[in-house]
Structure formats: C-alpha cells, structure tokens
Structure 1
Amino acid sequence: MRFLIFLVKLPLKLILIPVWLLLAVAGVIVSLIVGIYNFGRTIAAFILILLLIGVLVCYHDWIQAGILITLYLILFALLFVGTAVEVILEEIRSRVMGFILS
C-alpha cells in the first residue's frame, strides 16, 4: 500500500522540483531587492527626518511636516510589503520541499 502511494506521488514530486527551483530563485531575487531597498530607504528616511526637524523648527508648518511623515510611512509600507512577500515565498518553498521529501 505504501508503495502504491509512493508511485502516485512520484510524478507530482518530479513536477514540483522545477517549481521549487523557481521559488528559490524568486526568493533570492526578492531578498536582494528588499535588502537594496532597505539600504536606500534608510538614507531616505534619515533625510526625511532632517527635513522634518528643519520644517518644524524653522517654519512651524504642520502641513509640510504631515507630508514628510506621510512619505516616511509610504517608505515603511513598501519595505513591509517586500518583507511580507519574501516571507511568503520562503514559506511556500519550505512547504513544497517538505512535500517533495515526504
């Protein structure tokens, strides 16, 4: 009975090997993009914080401060989405590998 289940799962496992490789490549690419974006976002966030301090100290303009805070939140949201995609790809890849090895 176990041999019959093995024979039924074998074609699916062979089909999933290239899928796992594609997921691994996509995971590496997304990880690199998120890392590069994180570096750039750090620099941009530093500049935005300096601008925010300058706007509040020099001009006391809360509208421009709100715009700068909104820009910072957009930068953070993009990083959050990229990290979420990275984690989802890793989880799918792990589940596919678990099925292949079962």
Structure 2
Amino acid sequence: MSLNSREREVTGEQLRRHVEVLGVSEQALAAWLDLEPQAVEDTVAMRGADPVVVWLMRDGLDALARHRGVDAGGWTVLTDSSRQAAQRWFRLRAVPPVESFKG
C-alpha cells in the first residue's frame, strides 16, 4: 500500500492542519510518540515518510483533537477503512495515552 503524489499532498496538508489547529509543536509530538524530531518534520512534509510513522502521527493528532474537543478536520486518504489495508502491509503502532502528551 503506497500513496500516489496527490494522496501524499492531501495527507501532508491534513497533518499540517491538525498540527496548526491543535497548536502543538513538532518537538512535543516527537517526544510523545517516541520519534526523532526529523521523522516528525519529514512526515508532516511527506518527504520520504515512513508509512508506520504517518499512521502513528495521524492517530496521535486525531486522539489529541478528540481529547480536546477540537475539530481539526477529517482524513480523506488515511480513513478508518483504509487502516485495514495498512494493517495488512505494515505493523502499525499504538498511540500513547493522550494524558502523557506534554505540549
């Protein structure tokens, strides 16, 4: 399962929108999700992003939005139904508890 250029563009826009609407820093996301800051930056920019990290960030941002009661918009490519295919291709990671987010 891979994304075409238009899907990468849309996904990057949606990741950026969530980061902006939630007002979280990429450094705080990296610490919470146990990622290198560069991996978060590359994922938001969709530069050679690891699909596992893309899904982890998507799920983390989505969880933060729900926890805060914020509507950051939906996902048009990384939908809940497309997760089934992703789980067949990749070993997706679970998001840490939202309460452990520091940022």
TM-score by length of 2: 0.28
TM-score by length of 1: 0.28
Higher helix share: 1
Larger Rg over CA atoms = 1
Bigger relative contact order, structure 1 or 2 (CA pairs below 8 A, ≥6 apart): 1
